[in-house]
């Protein structure tokens, strides 16, 4: 537990404004240059009012009207016919309230999330919503409609909102829904020309003209607010981590023809075209969402093929992706990130994956969230998560057993049984309690003797749920 006289990174970011100078804009730009990425050496506060590490989830099977099916070949109309618009949008209001934390109504919460430039009125504000248009897994129309409606409720003109995925098929996927599921006059675009914009150091990268244009050799950023709406799917290439979430979603914002490395994802997502001048309190990317109503085990085409019934929302892309991998893709889809890639991404944003503040992060349950701090604390372990028992004994080959555990139920016991059901070892849980992510067993019985090779049963009790898994020990 942190001592009272110490300040955590999270507390520091809540009370400190970063004064680092913004990226300089030159008069001309080269093509994207290959160089070592220059990640942040310390974490920076992205949104002026919302904690970087705050990520909320809505887990509700009522948001869809069908069980898992493979959507391969299904039209957008067919896929969206299975989405329960009213329930999705009701839950998104709850997510906004939970994310904004101290706001009592959805209207106030959305207005806290969306940051407009101080020099503009709301009817002058321009907005871009980045969607994922590749393959068959796309953000559901009900999600996009809710975002557009809330922006319009803030005072943004519908014609100042653009839904896009540069160089993709955004228009063919979403145009038919404008005025029929998405507010009238909202624009949908695939983008056209690309403009060279700076990333870090002397690097540049081409960006869609939806976000940037060149005027007399100077870069002018086109949109005041950027919303990143990704889906939950995998990727065949390992160098970016093997998953496609909000960081990877911006490959449809910049012009890269091949799958980038984790290091390049960091550079792309830290550029001013995407983040804006967040140091002054006016971020461009104000919100990141993962539509995981259904998820795809594979990708990048990735047909939705797994029921996950979830929406994820936060303001800081790497943290949103980290939790989506650790709490959805790994335990539910059995699709772990490629070793080392999450560490690389978090490190590039000034975080250490081994820091307890990061390692112990969890979704906040928007559906049970309360502004009452006591009640709110109970909502933090809302989703199924994975407990891993690792064998540390030198007597046996390395072995590992993983279990998906129910949401708010803390683990009350963790037993090793023989095949007749007799207790071999009762693993002490006092150091785990609420968060059983990695539990170790030394291969000994309750009398401190190494057990024999063979088959054993791991029995976990969490609330009213009892899970059993087989564990084989081999010399």
- Write the secondary structure of the chain as one string of H (helix), E (strand) and C (coil): CCCCCCCCHHHHHHHCCCCCCCCCCCCCCCCCCCCCCCCCCCCCCCCCCCCCCCEEEEECHHHECCCCCCCCCCCHHHHHHCECHHHHHHHHHHHHHHHHCCCCCHHHHHHHHCCCCCCCCHHHCCEEEECCCCCCCCCCHHHHHHHHHHHHHHCCCHHHEEEECCCCCHHHHHHHHECCCECCCCEEECCCCEEEEECCCCCEEEEECCCEEEECCEEEECCCEEEEEEECEECCCCCCCCEECHHHHHHHCECCCCCCCHHHHHHHHCCHHHHEEHHHCEECEEEEEEEEEEECCCCCCCCCCEEEEEEEEECCHHHHHHHHHHHHHCCCCCCCCCCCHHHHHHHHCCCCCCCHHHHCCCCEECCCCCCCHHHHHCCCCCCCEEEEEEECCCCCCCCEEEEEECCCCCEEEEEEECCCCCEEEECCCCCCCCCCCEEEECCECCCCCECCCEEEEEEEEECCEEEEEEEEECC
Highest mean pLDDT among 50-54, 236-240, 434-438: 50-54
- pLDDT, position 360: 78
pLDDT at 151: 98
Which of these ranges, 23-32, 206-215, 326-335, 465-474, has the smallest mean pLDDT?
23-32
Sorting pLDDT into bands at 50, 70 and 90, what band is 18? very low
Q: Where residue 256 falls among pLDDT bands split at 50, 70, 90?
A: low
Give me 59's structure tokens. Answer: 């887990």
Over pLDDT 90: what percentage of the chain?
44
Whether the predicted pLDDT of 232 surpasses 90: yes
Residue 140, both tokens: 């559901």
Output the pLDDT for position 342. 93
What's the pLDDT score for residue 464? 62
CB within 8 Å of 420: residues ≥ 6 apart? none
Where does the pLDDT of residue 32 fall: very low under 50, low under 70, confident under 90, or very high at 90 and above? very low
Tell me the C-alpha distance between 268 and 275, whole Å.
Answer: 10
Return the pLDDT at 125: 98
Are 134 and 168 a contacting pair, CB within 8 Å? Answer: yes
Question: d(Cα 46, Cα 24) in Å, to the nearest integer?
Answer: 19
- For position 436, what pLDDT does the model report? 47
Higher pLDDT among residues 263 and 373, named by residue: 263
pLDDT > 70? residue 437: no
Q: How confident is the prediction for the chain on average, in pLDDT?
A: 82
For residues 66 and 343, give the distance between their C-alpha atoms in angstroms, rounded to a whole number.
36
How much is the average pLDDT of 418-428?
A: 84
Q: Tell me which of 14 and 165 has the higher pLDDT.
A: 165
Give the least confident one: 65-79, 247-261, 335-349.
Answer: 65-79
pTM of the model: 0.74
Q: How confident is the model at residue 146 (pLDDT cuts 50, 70, 90)?
A: very high
pLDDT band with cut points at 50, 70 and 90 for residue 455: confident
Instruction: Express each pLDDT in 268-285 by its tens digit.
Output: 999 999 999 988 899 999
Q: Provide the pLDDT for residue 153.
A: 97
**Burial class for 10, CB neighbours closer than 10 Å (0-12, 13-18, 19+):** middle
Q: Average the pLDDT over each of 34-48, 294-308, 372-386 and give the range with the smallest value.
A: 372-386
pLDDT of residue 432: 44
Residue 216, classified by CB atoms within 10 Å of its CB into exposed (0-12), middle (13-18) or buried (19+), is exposed
Indicate whether 152 pLDDT > 70. Answer: yes
Show the tokens assigned to 301.
């085409």
The structure tokens 């503009």 sit at 120
pLDDT at 11 over 50: no
- Cα–Cα dist 302/333, whole Å: 13
> Is 308 in contact with 294 (CB distance < 8 Å)?
yes
* Nearest-10 Cα torsion for 322, 323, 324, 330: 90
Note the pLDDT of residue 175.
96
Omega within 30 of 0 (cis) for the link into 379: no
Q: Is the pLDDT of residue 163 over 60?
A: yes
In the prediction, which pLDDT does 305 show? Answer: 83
């Amino acid at each position: 537990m942190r001592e009272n006289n110490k300040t955590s990174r999270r507390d520091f970011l809540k009370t400190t404004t970063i004064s680092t100078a913004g990226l300089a804009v030159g008069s001309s730009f080269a093509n994207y240059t290959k160089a070592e990425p220059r990640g942040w050496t310390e974490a920076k506060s992205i949104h002026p009012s919302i904690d970087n590490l705050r990520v909320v989830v809505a887990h509700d099977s009522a948001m869809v009207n069908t069980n898992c099916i493979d959507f391969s070949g299904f039209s957008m109309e067919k896929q969206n016919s299975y989405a329960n618009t009213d329930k999705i949008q009701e839950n998104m209001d709850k997510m906004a309230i939970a994310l904004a934390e101290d706001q009592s109504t959805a209207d106030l919460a959305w207005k806290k999330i969306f940051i407009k430039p101080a020099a503009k009125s709301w009817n002058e504000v321009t907005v871009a919503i980045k969607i994922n248009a590749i393959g068959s897994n796309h953000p559901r129309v009900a999600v996009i409609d809710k975002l557009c409606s809330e922006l319009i409720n803030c005072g943004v003109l519908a014609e100042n909102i653009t839904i896009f995925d540069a160089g993709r098929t955004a228009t063919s996927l979403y145009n038919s829904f404008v005025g029929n599921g998405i507010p009238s006059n909202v624009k949908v675009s695939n983008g056209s020309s690309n403009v060279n914009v700076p990333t870090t150091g002397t690097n540049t990268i081409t960006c869609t003209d939806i976000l940037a244009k060149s005027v007399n050799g100077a870069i002018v950023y086109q949109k005041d607010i950027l919303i990143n709406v990704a889906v939950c799917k995998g990727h065949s290439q390992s160098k970016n981590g093997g998953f496609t979430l909000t960081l990877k979603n911006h490959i449809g914002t910049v012009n890269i023809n091949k799958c980038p490395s984790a290091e390049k994802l960091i550079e792309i997502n830290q550029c001013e075209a995407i983040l804006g001048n967040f140091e002054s309190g006016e971020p461009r990317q104000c919100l990141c969402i993962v539509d995981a109503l259904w998820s795809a085990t594979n990708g990048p085409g990735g047909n939705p093929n797994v029921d996950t019934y979830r929406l994820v929302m936060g303001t800081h892309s790497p943290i949103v992706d980290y939790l989506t991998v650790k709490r959805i893709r790994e335990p539910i889809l059995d699709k772990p990130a490629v070793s080392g890639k999450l560490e690389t991404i978090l490190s590039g944003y000034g975080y250490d994956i081994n820091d307890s503040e990061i390692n112990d992060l969890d979704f906040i349950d928007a559906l049970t969230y309360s502004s009452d701090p006591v009640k709110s604390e109970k909502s933090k372990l809302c989703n199924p998560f994975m407990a891993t028992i690792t064998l540390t004994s030198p007597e046996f080959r390395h072995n590992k057993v993983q279990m998906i555990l129910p949401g708010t139920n803390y683990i009350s016991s963790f037993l090793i049984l023989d095949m007749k059901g007799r207790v071999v070892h009762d693993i002490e849980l006092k150091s785990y309690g609420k968060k059983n992510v990695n539990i170790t067993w030394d291969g000994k019985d309750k009398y401190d003797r190494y057990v024999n090779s063979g088959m054993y049963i791991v029995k976990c009790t969490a609330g009213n749920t009892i899970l059993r898994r087989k564990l084989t020990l081999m010399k």
